[in-house]
Amino acid sequence: MSFVHVGLALAGVAAVAIPIIIHLLFRQRRKPIDWGAMRFLLEAYRRSRHRMRLEQWLLLAIRCLVLALLGLALARPLLSDSALPLGPGSRVVYLVVDNGLASTVTDAQNHSALERHVQEASQIISSLKASDRVALVSAARPIEALVDPPAVDHAAVLASLTELKASHTPADIDAALSRVRESISLRESDPSPVFVYLLSDFLAGSVDRTRPLTSRFLDDKRNVKLIASAPATAPVANVQVVSIDSKRRVALAGATDLSGQFTVHLRRVGDVSEEALSTVRLNAEPLPSPDPISVRWARGQSEAAVDMRLDLRGVNPGEVIVTAAIDRDALSADNARYNVLEVRDVLRVAVLDRREFGRPGDLASFPSGSWFRRALDPGRGSQISVTDIDPASIDRAAMRRLQAAVLTRPDLVTEDGWRVLREFVDGGGMLWIEPAEQDRVATWTDRAAAALELNWRWAREATNVGEDESGVALADEQPNSDLLSLLGSELTDLTKPVRVLRALPVEEGVEEDSIILRLADGTPWMMWTTAGGSSRGGLIVYLASAAHLDWTTLPAKPFMVALVHEVVRQGVGHAHEQRELSPGDAIAGGLPLGAASLIGPGGSRLTVLTRDGAATLDRPISQAGVYEVLDDRSASLGRIGVNVEPEAGRTEALGAAQVNEWLDASGSWQWLDANDATAALAGETTWGEISLALLLTALALALLETLLARWFSHGLRRDLETGGLDTDRYSLTSTFAAEGRPA
Amino acid sequence: MAEAAPLQTDDYLSPATLARMGAFELRARMVVEGIRSGMHESPYYGFSVEFAQHRQYVQGDDIRHLDWKVFGRSDKLYLKQYEQETNLDVVLLVDSSGSMRFGTYEATIEDGSKRIWRKFDHATALGAAMSFLALQQQDRVGMVVFADGVRSLVNRSSAQGHWRQIVSALNTHPVEEQTSIGRCVDQALGKVTNRVLFVIISDFFDDLDQIRSAMARVRHRGHDLILFQVLDRQEMRFDFRTPAPFEGMELEGKLNLDPRSLRQAYLEILSEHCRSLEKLARGFHFDYQRIDTHDSIGPVLSHFLARRMAQGRRGRG
């Protein structure tokens, strides 16, 4: 036992002597009373001696105890639980267990960090008294309060603990602590001491040091003790498959182009001090697997990329699951990555243009739609199927069969037509928009912006570009857009002959990274966006000039075919790319329309719920792998790859200093004793409750002393018997008056 | 300066008045004066008188002495006549043991200082009064001042000026000795041959068995006995409030105690002692009177003598 004010504690102990000293002092100072009837007094004393002595000792003990207790209470004692005579009172223990991806790192004995933390948590629970309450929170994102509010059913908590599985998501310690903080604050009136255990190795994958902890226990009025397991000190070598990129997002069956080419990116984290060897395998059943490629890691090397190619000849239309995997290492969940390659026999593209009947005139009057038809289907063997739809009567059913649409006459699209186009984009279709060649004053832009929820603000009027009739060339240095990435170095040569004479630019709302092509004067000429800014659905591409020679020389240049094909094919693949999910995701935004459920690798089923127009999963995805998407009739809508976030698998050891600095924002933490996980529980309880208890006890004893003192001196008994002090009750004077004295 | 009011009958015999008298003789005279004043109001019938004869009533006689029983039987008026028993001696035994020094009545005397009226003061005043009354009716009066034994002795006499000897003997102080009534009575009995009325004035803080033995011997010799038990009011109440050491006045030693916690037991024992004493006296047909030192002597004494007279009449009627 210790005290906040040791001096007061000593004073309290010394105060025990006060009643004795007072007794002795008064005893010395009192003047003796000469008493005649001493023989009767002595006889009375002899008769009552034992009782009086007992009473006096009892009163003295109570008086001493009252003073001692007062002194001790003011000294604010810090009692260890074991020192409490009746055992510790009810405690509340919160166990926050990191079951994030980094917790699956195994040691030399093939034991994971999570197993170790579960064991520590079990020890803590086992050491608790029956009256103690325990809560259990898993820290993997999304955090889950497995047991909360705190329960006294320790067996149930242990059962939940043993069933705790590692998640493939990163740990969200801040959210877990916030949950604990919230739970504590809900029980502010509960005076029980609170112990918060945070069990983690604090590897880089579990600690997001870019986000300071927001859950603060510092201002907590409760007695909250924060205990964290000691951070791992040694980094663990781990190689991750960070990404698997295909050149073409949508492959065409039998294509001999770059559709089957993939780049596998690897990252080595943790201990990179040694040379190492990783073997990368690419698998895409039923296609033949290419030969494995070995990556030799040099000392200090942390990143590597491997190009591998699948032979797509003879593949049937559909989905091909491409898996890039490496050898097993300390963390296995990030050793594989899944990609779904969509293989189509043909791309269906509609040109939303009003056909002009009759032979067109010269090249200068060749309509925009015609340019696009020729660019999309330049000759035999093309795997792009082009259909025509009048923009004034866009058919919803017809649009459903398409993967892309080129709108050359936006001025003719009705309100309903824009709504159909919005549905088309939301369903993953790619929409190419350009000004109508007839546009002088564009009135359709407002309807388009409203229907597609675009942040762009177009110029109201198409204007000539450049200072003379030759217009403006495209910039020599074009933005590095993914949509044109396959053109590579040829892009400069292709864009060089193109002149832009006229344009209807977007004046506001164009983000820098969404610019595909730029004019020489820096004005964005071609750009992309999504409907409503959502990551779900297809792309919207806008070319600021109509494909007409009055506007630009592009239709007559070689770049036209390349541009249309690349943008359409890569744009169509964009929606497909958005389907990739990660463990921890609960939002089903990347799923195809009509998705009703997901079937995971182990047969686990996740249900898609639609609330307020937003699709969510009934529970977050916990495991990486390939999931099949089913509609409400259990018909397959395709498959998606669920891949771990590479950051979650970082195995660098941060060290105690950095972790302490990070944790410090939430309160004062102490490290868990590695040899005795329960040591902190046997620590100190608060002074407040003990002091209060001591004060109350002292008060009760003081009251008891008053009553006993009166009782022993018969004052209380007389009060009880006569209802008031009757000094003559035993007096002989009353007898005398009655018998001997005249009235 | 305002003139002091004249003393009333009770005032002569009140502790407040008597305590003012520094000289014991003056105090004794004050007692006598008080008794004389009281006699004027309440005629003295004497405690040693006995019935002698009847005589016929003549006009002017006090009708209080008419014998109504004779009148009822014979239809004649006769007066009862009494005569003094000349052979009845009175021996006063006054306790001067240590316990008699106790007193709590605080009187203010002439110089403004305080004076404690002790049980012994009360006893000697009572003794002086008793001896005076006895001498008034020509009885022989003797005096014994005792404690553990006889301290002083005045032989019986009815001579003029004997009262002064008695008063002189009473003018003493208590000693730190215990009471031994039995021994004192034995010594007194050894000095008498005729019938004697013994008057013991004491607090009777003595062993009851010894007192019983003494009474038995007195009765056996055919003597009469009157017991005046003088007690201080505080002894009868014992209402101390604070813890204090109590020291015995007869060398019993010191005792530290909380008087409140012992009050009940003490009063029970004292009360039992007094009741036993009274019962003992009644058993031997002796008179017993308890006296509070805070009360005046006169009324108590008058009442006692009147009662004794009435008992004497009943015994002979």
Q: Using one digit for the tens of pLDDT, what is the confidence trace for B239-250?
A: 888 888 899 988
Fill in the DSSP letter of residue B18: H
Which tokens in the block code for residue A49?
A: 């001696």
Task: Say whether pLDDT at A663 is over 80.
Answer: yes
Amino acid identity of residue A314, one-letter, is: G
Nearest-angstrom CA–CA distance, A243 and A227: 37
Check A34 against B303: CB less than 8 A apart: no
pLDDT recorded at residue A85: 47
Check A730 against B246: CB less than 8 A apart: no
A479: helix, coil or strand? coil
Fill in the DSSP letter of residue A612: T
For residue A685, give the nearest of A122, A136, A119, A77 by alpha carbon: A77
Task: Say whether pLDDT at A110 is over 60.
Answer: yes
Q: Which of A23, A24, A31, A39 to mutate to test the interface with B (most CBs of B within 10 A)?
A: A39
For residue B85, give the nearest of B46, B128, B132 by alpha carbon: B46
Chain A nearest-CA distance from B25, in A, is 26
Nearest-angstrom CA–CA distance, A103 and A253: 42
Fill in the DSSP letter of residue A70: H
Highest mean pLDDT among A26-40, A106-120, B33-47, B219-233: B219-233
DSSP codes, A105-125: -B-TTS-BHHHHHHHHHHHHH
Check A37 against B274: CB less than 8 A apart: no
Of the two residues A684 and A6, the one the predictor is more confident about is: A6
Check A48 against B236: CB less than 8 A apart: no
For residue A395, give the nearest of A428, A373, A376, A423 by alpha carbon: A423
Chain A nearest-CA distance from B37, in A, is 18
Which tokens in the block code for residue A357?
A: 């009947």
Contact present, A97 and A199 (Cβ < 8 Å)? yes
H-assigned helices in A410-557? 415-426, 444-452, 490-495
pLDDT recorded at residue A526: 95
Exposure of A359 by Cβ count < 10 A (0-12 exposed, 13-18 middle, 19+ buried)?
Answer: exposed
Cα separations (Å) of A467 from A439, A500, A501, A557, B233? 20, 11, 10, 22, 135
Nearest residue in A to B118, CA atom: A36
* Per-residue exposure over A529-542, b if at least 16 CB sit within 10 Å of its own CB, e if not: bbbeeeebbbbbbb
Residues linked to residue A609 through DSSP beta bridges, in sequence order: A616
Kindly tell me the sign of the dihedral angle through the C-alpha atoms of A570, A571, A572, A577.
Answer: positive
Nearest-angstrom CA–CA distance, B204 and B275: 12
Q: For A5, phi and psi rounded to 5 degrees?
A: -120, 95
pLDDT recorded at residue B48: 44
Check A44 against B119: CB less than 8 A apart: no
Residues of A in contact with B238 (CB under 8 A): 730
Nearest-angstrom CA–CA distance, A241 and A262: 13
* Number of residues that this document lists for chain B: 317
Residues linked to residue B81 through DSSP beta bridges, in sequence order: B53
Nearest-angstrom CA–CA distance, B157 and B141: 5
Contact present, A385 and A409 (Cβ < 8 Å)? no
Q: Which of B270, B278, B282, B302 to mutate to test the interface with A (most CBs of A within 10 A)?
A: B270
Give percent of chain B with pLDDT exceeding 90: 23
For residue A238, give the nearest of A134, A316, A162, A333 by alpha carbon: A333
For residue B151, give the nearest of B121, B123, B183, B116 by alpha carbon: B183
Q: Which of B176, B240, B269 to mutate to test the interface with A (most CBs of A within 10 A)?
A: B269
Which tokens in the block code for residue A512?
A: 């820098």
Task: Say whether pLDDT at B18 is over 60.
Answer: yes
Amino acid identity of residue A435, one-letter, is: P
Half-sphere exposure of A371 (CA within 13 A, CB side): 29
Amino acid identity of residue A137, one-letter, is: V
Q: What ipTM is given for this predicted complex? A: 0.81
pLDDT recorded at residue A647: 85
Chain B nearest-CA distance from A725, in A, is 11
pLDDT, one tens digit per residue, over A132-172 is 889 999 999 888 899 988 988 888 899 999 999 888 888 89
A3: helix, coil or strand? strand
Nearest-angstrom CA–CA distance, A711 and A51: 12
Check A39 against B264: CB less than 8 A apart: no
Please, which pLDDT band fits residue B208 given cuts at 50, 70 and 90?
Answer: very high
Chain B nearest-CA distance from A728, in A, is 7
pLDDT, one tens digit per residue, over B27-66 is 666 666 666 555 433 333 444 455 667 777 877 677 777 8
Nearest residue in B to A718, CA atom: B264
Q: For A468, phi and psi rounded to 5 degrees?
A: -140, -170
Nearest-angstrom CA–CA distance, A128 and B227: 82
H-assigned helices in B42-161? 68-74, 119-136
* Residue A318 CB contacts under 8 Å (≥ 6 apart), including other chains: A343
Task: Say whether pLDDT at A315 is over 90.
Answer: no
pLDDT, one tens digit per residue, over A320-336 is 888 999 988 888 888 99
Check B249 against A731: CB less than 8 A apart: no
Residues of B in contact with A739 (CB under 8 A): 290
Per DSSP bridges, beta strands A293-297 and B196-202 are unpaired
Check A714 against B261: CB less than 8 A apart: yes
Residues of B in contact with A32 (CB under 8 A): 244-247, 254
pLDDT, one tens digit per residue, over B58-109 is 776 777 778 888 888 888 888 876 654 445 688 999 999 999 999 998 887 7
Longest CA pairwise span in chain B (Å): 72
- For tokens 């011997």, the residue is B217
Nearest residue in A to B259, CA atom: A713
Fill in the DSSP letter of residue A203: B
Check B249 against A48: CB less than 8 A apart: no
pLDDT recorded at residue B36: 59
Contact present, B127 and B92 (Cβ < 8 Å)? yes
Average pLDDT of chain A to the nearest whole number? 82
Per DSSP bridges, beta strands B196-202 and B224-231 are parallel
Q: Which of A37, A48, A727 sits opposite B270 (nearest CB)?
A: A37
Nearest-angstrom CA–CA distance, A402 and A398: 7
Give percent of chain A with pLDDT exceeding 70: 87
Residues linked to residue A135 through DSSP beta bridges, in sequence order: A94
Question: Which of A135-139, A144-148, A736-740, B312-316 is predicted least confidently?
Answer: A736-740
Nearest-angstrom CA–CA distance, A586 and A617: 5
CA torsion, points A665, A668, A669, A670, in degrees to nearest 10? 150
Q: Detail the DSSP E strand segments found in chain B.
A: 49-56, 78-84, 89-95, 105-108, 114-117, 140-146, 150-157, 196-202, 224-231, 244-248, 254-257, 287-292
Q: Which of A27, A34, A44 sits opposite B262 (nearest CB)?
A: A44
In this structure, how many other beta carbons lie within 10 angstroms of the beta carbon of residue B53? Answer: 10
Of the two residues A50 and B17, the one the predictor is more confident about is: A50
pLDDT, one tens digit per residue, over B143-173 is 999 988 888 899 988 887 888 888 888 888 8
Nearest residue in B to A715, CA atom: B260
Q: What is the 3-state secondary structure (H, E, C) of A235-282?
A: CCCEEEEEEEEECCCEEECCCCCHHHEEEEEEEEECCCCCCEEEEEEE
H/E stretch holding A720: helix A715-722
Cβ pairs A/B, distance under 8 A: 144
Residues of B in contact with A31 (CB under 8 A): 244
- For tokens 């109590």, the residue is B246
Which tokens in the block code for residue A594?
A: 């009509």
DSSP codes, A653-688: B-HHHHHHHHHTTT--EEEPPSS-TTGGGGSB--HH
Chain A nearest-CA distance from B275, in A, is 10
Check B269 against A44: CB less than 8 A apart: yes
Nearest residue in B to A49, CA atom: B262
pLDDT, one tens digit per residue, over A507-536 is 999 999 899 999 999 999 999 998 887 766
Chain A nearest-CA distance from B219, in A, is 24
Nearest-angstrom CA–CA distance, B13 and B133: 14
* Per-residue exposure over A310-347, b if at least 16 CB sit within 10 Å of its own CB, e if not: bebeebeeebbbbbbbbeebbbebbbbbbbbbbbbeeb
Check B261 against A728: CB less than 8 A apart: no
Check B99 against A728: CB less than 8 A apart: no
- pTM, to two decimals: 0.53
Q: Which of B257, B261, B272, B289 to mutate to test the interface with A (most CBs of A within 10 A)?
A: B261
- For tokens 């003879």, the residue is A314
Exposure of A689 by Cβ count < 10 A (0-12 exposed, 13-18 middle, 19+ buried)?
Answer: middle
Task: Say whether pLDDT at A279 is over 70.
Answer: yes
pLDDT recorded at residue B131: 86
Residues of B in contact with A35 (CB under 8 A): 102, 246-249
Check B247 against A32: CB less than 8 A apart: yes
Contact present, A701 and A66 (Cβ < 8 Å)? yes
Check A37 against B102: CB less than 8 A apart: yes
Which tokens in the block code for residue A257?
A: 């182009």
Chain A nearest-CA distance from B285, in A, is 17
pLDDT recorded at residue A63: 86
Check B245 against A33: CB less than 8 A apart: yes
Task: Compute the radius of gyration of chain A from its Cα atoms.
Answer: 42
Residues of B in contact with A49 (CB under 8 A): none
Residues of A in contact with B101 (CB under 8 A): 34, 36
Please, which pLDDT band fits residue A735 given cuts at 50, 70 and 90?
Answer: very low
For residue A627, give the nearest of A614, A611, A608, A646 by alpha carbon: A608
Which tokens in the block code for residue B250?
A: 């007869």
H/E stretch holding A630: strand A625-631
Give percent of chain A with pLDDT exceeding 90: 24
Nearest-angstrom CA–CA distance, A414 and A198: 60
Nearest-angstrom CA–CA distance, A152 and A442: 71
Chain A nearest-CA distance from B262, in A, is 7
Residues of B in contact with A40 (CB under 8 A): 205, 266, 269-270, 273
Nearest-angstrom CA–CA distance, B147 and B144: 10
